[in-house]
Amino acid sequence: MTTSTSTSTPAADAMFEVRKLNKSFDQQQWVLDDIDLKLLRGKTTVILGPSGSGKSTLLRCLNLLEEVDSGAIWFDGREITKEGPRGHLLRREISMVFQHYELFPHLSVLENLMIAPIKVLGVARERALEQAMELLAKVRIREKADAYPEQLSGGQQQRVAIARALMMNPKAILFDEPTSALDPEMVKEVLDVMVELAGSGITCVVVTHELGFARRAADRVVLMEGGRIVEESAKEHFFSDQASERTQRFLQQMSH
């Protein structure tokens, strides 16, 4: 059930615009409670919050991997919550990077990168191969092109997953806790790639616990708690003493 709460078109600078979004599990527990949010085109937004605050669920609503109860989501000027069963067409334009990488174990690194462009977008094999090698170089793992996922470390797998997401030439990339499953010594190599990406002008939405990444690469920061948005502001404001009391308390807890 999706009901459009407003017929007005979204602001031109918004890649995503979320209006009065509600989601519950079994009509009981509200996971997302009346979310209003604008994610700016070409900017990097980091979503922070304690576990269970609904941030990963919100992220999966943005590419319709989760169904919503009510409210509207606009993407690139159109209301995607109305598109329903054609969600897989939308997801050609929005890529996603997962906590546990989710590379396909039966395919080599190169095949992992090439399968969706070839099978979903209909890109020619030679063109896909060329782009794959470029992207593997960009995430600094070109020498592993013929390896299989299980032969790679977690950090390497996640960098391949980022390259796989970029293969679709998406308008936006969603990161779902991309460093939470990594050994500490591998976090940096993945974050470095993400920082470069954030600076490249693609719209990034990053759910993470890495305050350091937010400080380095975010344009805007969102704090969620209990399915609601507690604060949404520019990075400089978020990390200053002008941020809300709740935000400052959260940041204090995180730094312990």
Residues that bind other proteins (CB under 8 A): 63, 65, 88-89, 91-92, 95-96, 98, 100, 102-106, 108, 115-116, 119-121, 146-148, 150-151, 164, 168
**In this structure, are residues 38 and 9 in contact, taking their beta carbons and an 8 Å threshold?**
no
> Closer CB to other proteins, residue 63 or residue 208?
63
Tell me the closest approach of the beta carbon of residue 233 to other proteins, in angstroms. Answer: 29
Distances (CA, A) of 190 to 31, 117, 221: 29, 23, 20
Tell me the closest approach of the beta carbon of residue 143 to other proteins, in angstroms. Answer: 11
Tell me the closest approach of the beta carbon of residue 158 to other proteins, in angstroms. Answer: 13
> Closer CB to other proteins, residue 107 or residue 211?
107
> Closer CB to other proteins, residue 160 or residue 214?
160
The secondary structure of the chain as a DSSP string is: ----S--SPPPTTEEEEEEEEEEEETTTEEEEEEEEEEEETT-EEEEE--TTSSHHHHHHHHTTSS--SEEEEEETTEEGGGTGGGHHHHTTTEEEE-TT----TTS-HHHHHHHHIIIII---HHHHHHHHHHHHHHTT-GGGTTS-GGGS-HHHHHHHHHHHHHTT--SEEEEESTTTTS-HHHHHHHHHHHHHHHTTT-EEEEE-S-HHHHHHH-SEEEEEETTEEEEEEEHHHHTSTTS-HHHHHHHHHHT-
> Closer CB to other proteins, residue 151 or residue 200?
151
Tell me the closest approach of the beta carbon of residue 235 to other proteins, in angstroms. Answer: 27
Tell me the closest approach of the beta carbon of residue 96 to other proteins, in angstroms. Answer: 4
From 101, 121, 232, select the one nearest 179 (Cα to Cα).
101
> Closer CB to other proteins, residue 96 or residue 214?
96
> Closer CB to other proteins, residue 18 or residue 97?
97
Tell me the closest approach of the beta carbon of residue 48 to other proteins, in angstroms. Answer: 22
Tell me the closest approach of the beta carbon of residue 166 to other proteins, in angstroms. Answer: 12
Angle 26-27-33 from CA coordinates, rounded to 5°: 120
> Closer CB to other proteins, residue 162 or residue 223?
162
